[in-house]
Chain A
C-alpha cells in the first residue's frame, strides 16, 4: 500500500489547509487550551490558591491571638512555618479534584472520543495532561505556598520565622510540590477509574483514610509501614524539622513521587489497552 497521503479530492472553496502532523508539543498546547477554557477548572485552581493562602493566614492570626495569652500551652510546640502552610490540607482537596476532573470530565462528557480521535496513539494525551497540569499546578501552588507563608509570618509578627531559617524555604516550596504531586495522582487515578466519584474517593482514600488505618496496625508493624504511606511520605517535605520516625524530607517526597509514577504508568497501560 502506498504511503503517500491520499488527498486526491479537489477543494472547491476556501484556501488550502496546511497539513501538519500531531506532535507532543501540539497535544500539550491542546491540553493547555482545554484547561483554561473551562470555568470549572479555573474556579478549582482559584479555590486551591485561595484556600492555601486564606487558611494559612487565618490559622496564623488565630495562633497569634492564642499565643498572646499568658501561659499558653502552645508556646513550646509552636511551629510558625507549619502554621502558615496549614492550608495544604484544604488545598489538596481542590488540587486533587482538579487532577481527577481533567481526565474524568472527558470521559463523562464523551469528549475523550474526540480527543482520542485526534490523537489515536493516545499516550501523548496522557503525557500532555500530566505535563500541563504539573507546570500549571507547580507554578501556582508554589507561588501560593510562599504567599501563604509570607502572609502568615506577617500576621505572626515577631513570633514568626523567615525563609532564611534552617529548612524553612524547603518546607515552603515543598508544600507547593506536594500539592502538585497530589494532583498528578488524581490525573493517574482519573485515567484508571474514568469516573469522577470513583477517582476522587480513591485519591482521598489513599491520602486521608489510609494513614488512619495505619494507626490500627500493631505498633512495631505500624512504625515500619506508616511513614511510607503516600501522604505521610509526601508531607514530610513540608515539616521544618521532621519528627523522629518520619522519613527524611526529600526521601519521603521521592517515595511520594514514586506512588504517582506507578499510578501514571498503570494509567498509560490501561489507556493504551482499553476501548475508549
Chain B
C-alpha cells in the first residue's frame, strides 16, 4: 500500500466520526494556538521594553533628589538638586565621562490653541542637551538653542501626541499656544517614541527652556531631576561614580552611604524589567505547553476508543491479509492527520490572533515558535498515536474477530 492510499484510508477513518475527530483536533488547535500566541505576547512585551530602552537613550543617567526607596542611605536631611549641581557635573575636569548635562523641572499644564484645550502630562523645562541625552529627535522645525535658554525665550518643542491633539494634521511650527496662561511659540515637533515603558505617553510632552518654565510655572527653586548623558554606553558606570563624587562635594556629604540623591541608569532599570518579561514569557510558554500536552493525551484517548471500537474491523482486515505494518500505519496516519490538521488550524488561528492587541501588548510572533509548535504537535500525534496503533496492529486476527 502506498502512502497516498494510507492517507486516503486515514481520511475515511476520521470522517467516519466527524464530531469526535473535530473535538480532538480542537484540543490540538487550542494547544498550538496558545503556544504561538502566548509566546508572541511575551515576545511582544519584551520587544516593547527593548524599544523603550532605545527610546530613552542607553547612555542616559538620571539624578534625582532623595535617598530613594530601599536604599541603604542613612541621610538625615535632603538637599534639593540645584542649577549649581548641574554646573558642577558639566565640569569636564571633574567628570570626564559626562558628555551632556540637562537640568530638568517638570510640571503639568493645560495648553490652549484656538479654542482646543489639552492637558499636557509633562511640561519639561531644560537645556538643549536634554534632546540628545533623552534621544528625542525633531521631525519638524528645530530644537531650541542655548541662546533661547539664556534669553528665557518663550519657545517650545512639543511631542507628537500633543501636536496631534492641539493641531490635528496641521503643522504646529511657528504657531502660538497658550500654556498655563503663558504664550509659547512652537519651534519643533518631536518624533514619536511609541508606547514606552510606563503608563505615561512619552509623546505627550512640551519641552521649553529651563528659565522659561521656571519663570512661568515652577519658580526658581529646586530641580526635579538632572539628566546626564555619559560619553558612551560603556562609560555609564564611570559616569555614575563621577556624579556621586561631584554631588557629594556640592552637598557636603562625606559618607558615601549617606547620600541624599539617587543616580539611576535607564539600562539597569530596564534590564530588571526585561528579565521580568522573560520570566513572564517562560511562564506563558509553560502553560501553553501543558495545554498542548493535554491535547496530545486527547489524541491517545480517542485513538484508543477508535481501536477498541474497530477491533472486529481490524480482525477482518487481518483475515483478508492486511500486514501488521499496514494496520499500524493506518492508525498512525489517522492520529498524525488529526494532529496535523489541528496544528495547521492552530497556526492559522494564532497568526490571525496575533493581529490583535492582547492585554495592551502587541504580540510579535516568533517564527521558530510556529515551526516548533507545529512540529511538536505532529510529533505528539505520532507519539501518542503509536500506543493505540501498535495495540491495534498486534491483535491476533482470531481474537480481534471474536471481540465483542
Tell me whether A and B are bound partners: no
